[in-house]
Structure 1
Amino acid sequence: MSIYEHLSTFAGLRVCDFQHEHEGDTVQEHYSGEEEPDSPGEAAWRVGSWFEGPSFDDLFAAFLERIDTTEVTHLIIGFWGADYDDGAVDPVPVLAGAADRLPNLRALFLGDIVMEQAEISWIEQSDITPLFAAYPGLEHLGVRGGAGLALEPFRAPALKTLRFETGGLPAGVVRAVCASELPVLEHLDLWLGTANYGGDATVDDLAPILGGERLPSLRHLGLEDSEIQDEIAAAVAGAPIVARLESLSLAMGALTDLGAESLLSGQPLTHLKRLDLHHHFLTDPVVKRVHAALPGVEVDLGDQQQSDRDWRYVAVAE
């Protein structure tokens, strides 16, 4: 699966593109909805460059100049250039350096980049730790791309949603999340990916998340897009965190009957509102057993793949 479309909404707000007009040198903002927002705080602003046209640095500087960013609460960072491009920049120090211009930022998505610009495994990230110090009021953070991604343990007293979309999530990032202070985190999604693209996290790395001691407010957990999905399912089946979840996702990975059997024979899942297992390698009889075992749960078992003992694939890798 590749990502073909940019975000149209983010954390409850519709997206407003800040784009450069190629006719002349003016910079104009374009709203993706039916009408422009009455104030900057009513939209999620996206700033991103293209292969031609102004650099990300220039666009972001223009954004800070033209928009009253003291009112901006939601910000999406799109394409900032490829590593082989002279105009490429690291957006993290740019964002950290602009913290005084964005005092009310609550939601940030780093890497709203689609296949036409770069495959997910080609997105060059960096150490994102400075963002948490720069924006202590951040409530929602999404990151796309795992190449070069790094993270140190951090404290985020307001963070409610943390989402990593990658074809390979480095184990160091997983361990940093586990060691961080996240007292109000409610929603955690980790696209773990494959070892071929840097996804080297093990079930042992996930143990602090599954134990739940450091995540007292968590209500949704997604451990997704993994080539070791059966091992993860076996660990989840007895994990203390599950009892307080409202929704659980083990979707997009190489889940087989073995992993489903672990879930069926483990702790009860009937308290869940939703269980997402889409993109899986379950056989028809096991699909029916899962549905039968969870009559009151919204279960997504769509996108059934044909099982091959020699090759099973995750939904998002390259």
Structure 2
Amino acid sequence: MVFSDHLAELYGLPAFTFPEDGAAADLPAPDAVAWRIRAGFADEDADWEQVFERFCSAVDTTRIRALIVGAWECVFDCGPDDVIEALLAARDRLPALRALFLGDIVFEESELSWITQTDVTGLLRGFPALEEFGVRGGTGLEFQALRHDSLRSLTVQTGGLPAGVVRGIGASDLPALEHLDVWLGESSYGADCETADLEGILSGTRLPRLRRLALRNSEIQDDVAAAVAAAPVAARLEVLDLSMGVLTDDGAAALLGGQPLTHLKKLDLHHHYIGEAFRQRIRQTLEPAGVEVDLDPGEADEDRDDDGTVFRYVAAGE
């Protein structure tokens, strides 16, 4: 899987890329779109902060509801620290901001695991009214434990997620959070998470309103499935997403042998390595109860070397 297209929307608003040269002709209403700010393409001499300054001069920022941070000028070599500093410096000019995505970068700009990130905690502390926050890229990513009373949706897309980020999320008090989407990734791209690191998330203690949980794109997907099957948080979920990873019959057996999942509205397991027998058992157990089960597009590809060793892959690594 690669990101071939930029975000089409954020916060229910269509995405619109602000012209790098700051041209103000034919701009949409400030609150009608999710504004994408990116740099170094139409104007190779402009850095992200310069484009953002032009944006703030051309648009009534007091009405902006959603911002998308596209590529900054050195995504391979440096994180978005200057971007974050610019956003925080402008926070008083963005009183209506409710959604922010950091790193809307497609493969033509950078592969997923080449994106350099940083500590994103300051953005959440600096914008206490944010309801949606997303970040793409795991290299250098940090997430410190915090309390945020407004956040309803948190998305972390990586090909390899540091365990400290997982623990930081799990240790955060997020009383309004309804949707959590975490891409764990694989060890060759920096993932070092173990199921014990998920304890804070799976207990649900600090996430009382969580209803949609995605722990996906993992090379330890079987272990994650087993942990979720016994987790307190599972009983109040409406959607459980364990897709995009290396989920095999072992993980399927753990889900079937754990607490009942018939209360779910949807179970998403697409991109998997589950055999036909277990696929049928999952469908026969859950679909009669009204659970939507996504097991498509069937088994993901796997490779074997000359001695028969099997290689399986997450959907989004490099």
**TM-score category by the smaller chain?**
over 0.9
Which residue of structure 1 aligns with residue 300 of structure 2?
A: 305
Question: Displacement, 1:128?
Answer: 0.7
Distance, in Å, in 2 between the alignment partners of 1:288 and 1:88 is 46
Structure 1's 60 and 214: CA in aligned 2 closer, same or farther, altered over 3 A? same
Question: C-alpha offsets along residues 41-79 of structure 1, whole Å, 9 cap, x if unaligned?
Answer: 121111011352522111001011111000001000000
What does 1:269-280 correspond to in 2, within 5 Å?
A: 269-280=261-272
SS at match of 2:311: coil
Which residue of structure 1 aligns with residue 104 of structure 2?
A: 112
Q: 1:153 aligns with which of 139, 145, 153?
A: 145
Distance, in Å, in 1 between the alignment partners of 2:80 and 2:212 is 35
Which residue of structure 2 aligns with residue 287 of structure 1?
A: 279
The 8 Å contact of residues 79 and 116 in structure 2, kept in 1 or not, is answered as no
Distance, in Å, in 2 between the alignment partners of 1:158 and 1:86 is 30
* Letter aligned with residue 247 of structure 2: L
Question: Displacement, 1:306?
Answer: 4.1
Which residue of structure 2 aligns with residue 42 of structure 1?
A: 32
Question: Displacement, 1:83?
Answer: 5.0
Structure 1's 315 and 84: CA in aligned 2 closer, same or farther, altered over 3 A? closer
Distance, in Å, in 2 between the alignment partners of 1:41 and 1:77 is 17
Question: Displacement, 1:193?
Answer: 0.3
Question: Displacement, 1:239?
Answer: 0.8
TM-score normalised by length of structure 1 = 0.92
Question: Displacement, 1:310?
Answer: 2.5
Structure 1's 166 and 85: CA in aligned 2 closer, same or farther, altered over 3 A? closer
Distance, in Å, in 1 between the alignment partners of 2:282 and 2:82 is 45
Q: 1:101 aligns with which of 80, 93, 96?
A: 93
Distance, in Å, in 1 between the alignment partners of 2:199 and 2:84 is 29
**Are 2:127 and 1:135 aligned?**
yes
Give the CA RMSD over aligned residues: 1.8
Structure 1's 155 and 29: CA in aligned 2 closer, same or farther, altered over 3 A? farther
SS at match of 1:125: coil
Question: C-alpha offsets along residues 249-279 of structure 1, whole Å, 9 cap, x if unaligned?
Answer: 0000000011001101111111100000000
What does 1:44-193 correspond to in 2, within 5 Å?
A: 44-51=34-41, 52-83=44-75, 90-193=82-185
* Letter aligned with residue 152 of structure 2: K
Question: C-alpha offsets along residues 221-272 of structure 1, whole Å, 9 cap, x if unaligned?
Answer: 0000000000011111111101100000000000001100110111111110
Distance, in Å, in 2 between the alignment partners of 1:106 and 1:29 is 26
The 8 Å contact of residues 36 and 68 in structure 2, kept in 1 or not, is answered as yes
Worse overlay, 127-136 or 50-59: 50-59
Which residue of structure 2 aligns with residue 33 of structure 1?
A: none
**Are 2:222 and 1:230 aligned?**
yes
Distance, in Å, in 1 between the alignment partners of 2:82 and 2:157 is 18
Unaligned stretches of 5+ residues in structure 1 = 31-35
Distance, in Å, in 1 between the alignment partners of 2:121 and 2:81 is 17
* Letter aligned with residue 249 of structure 1: D
Structure 1's 84 and 212: CA in aligned 2 closer, same or farther, altered over 3 A? closer
Question: C-alpha offsets along residues 112-143 of structure 1, whole Å, 9 cap, x if unaligned?
Answer: 00000000111111111111221000100010
TM-score normalised by length of structure 2 = 0.92
Structure 1's 299 and 84: CA in aligned 2 closer, same or farther, altered over 3 A? closer
The 8 Å contact of residues 16 and 45 in structure 1, kept in 2 or not, is answered as yes
The 8 Å contact of residues 81 and 118 in structure 2, kept in 1 or not, is answered as no
Structure 1's 28 and 63: CA in aligned 2 closer, same or farther, altered over 3 A? same
* Letter aligned with residue 20 of structure 2: H
